[in-house]
Structure 1
């Protein structure tokens, strides 16, 4: 069924009729900036103090003690020293309304004594492709059942016609991390240390 009128998707998104894909352009630099800022906020003294105050009122004592123990692993860090050294997109979930990027961020952050800590953080970034729900309904009206059966959403990174997609951080989780040297590739690969081995 041909499209009868032009459909404007959210900035950075367009409809590719040739391969039946809704293409979403993403800028790696924007993603890195969002994640770096989120991590710096997370490790700020103000945020850490607030989290501890909230936790002490809500959690049973043994859980609070475990939290304090984990907190001591990166105690008194200086967020200004934080450097993201590796980002890995661990998974992408796309549906009709938007997409989640599940990102593993590996970073180094120093404590107030100057000792570096290598950490990892799993972050979920979410974005609404359409910007306005009416656009989704317009597209459905134009394409009918074809949209729901044929069209796929494809994420592209760093295309020349890059436009801004609004990303929001929806979930974060903190882990210890390690570097393992891969002799065949002659490089270090970061990995998350499971909590039971941290």
Structure 2
């Protein structure tokens, strides 16, 4: 079994090696898995804007679908506070100005702050997850710190191009497990 660090290295390389055509196929399958979830009770949906340079799953098609099919759902986008490792959540609407931070992550410049307790569902970027819902992200812990401040019933939904691994052996007490992991071929519920 591999450690988080080893798995992060292997799966980052795997994801970066995916060519554009293969990624487009995987993104289409992820999209079809996502739209099968029940979005009817969601008022606030936290999303992320994918980073093409890291070959992250593309969320843009799903975000447009939500806006068209569930116009009452309010989208939330975070800005990272690099001083304390937290995420400040903003309502994402037509007036929101978006800019890239020093890591190239698209974030709101300002706007209406949304408290974590209002958020019903969160799309979580990651590299992979295990069969218990433990996830491997980029290793900075931003989403762990964010999710622990959300309601207990928040739907944390990871997006991964890869199937689940059996077990991530070196999880820590502060690692926040997912409630769902959406892969191209299956949606897992934990």
Query: Which of the five TM-score ranges fits, normalised by the shorter chain?
Result: under 0.3
Scaled by the length of structure 2, the TM-score of the pair is 0.23
Scaled by the length of structure 1, the TM-score of the pair is 0.23
Structure number with higher helix proportion: 1
Kindly indicate whether structure 1 or structure 2 has the higher relative contact order, using CA contacts under 8 Å at least 6 residues apart. 1
Structure number with higher strand proportion: 1
Largest Rg, 1 or 2: 1
